[in-house]
Structure 1
């Protein structure tokens, strides 16, 4: 299993990854208009020179054919990590009901890695494979 030592994906990297899906069919000016921002602000956001307005996450996600929850979480982690921690603690407590202490500890370790969604899916898949190998007769 390959563990990622890279930092979590940034908002710019995430948008860039999704940009190719929409740019072939529309201009940046048309995308900016649909989002409700000036074209120069879109260019600045895509270049990492301005922050994505959090109130526009839904519109960005729709235009970039991206997951709004993933985009919001990335933006919050990058722009307001302390606030995201508060939101996580207050509104999304870890699902510990019925979990052993070891299971809770594993959940905390995985959460502390701050993996992007693709890295998290790969990690879960690798753990499933490992579990099958270890428990195989």
Structure 2
């Protein structure tokens, strides 16, 4: 089998590549690390959802430095609007707002950890739970 190395910033190109073949280079401290989804990181159902949502429609997520995992569209509107008011450019900062409801929180966390993408959760449910404690 011939091996090919292709470097890209195209989410469209990534959508055509097997997810287990993708390698993501990122800096951690002063070292360059290689992130990759290993076989078994996601179960079959998680992989199917991840493939459809991320590779099929949001390939740019592979290039983000940070994922802010949110429950839904309202959170995306709230956070992107707040960032705009504060003069913050999430796109320029390589921060992506990711709705996790259709795919599952654990799927995104596992994928982000494997790929070397920092992540944070913004969830009203979690905030309500914290207030109760």
Q: TM-score, normalised by structure 1?
A: 0.30
Q: Name the structure where strand makes up a greater proportion of residues.
A: 2
Q: Which has the larger Rg?
A: 1
TM-score under structure 2 length normalisation: 0.30
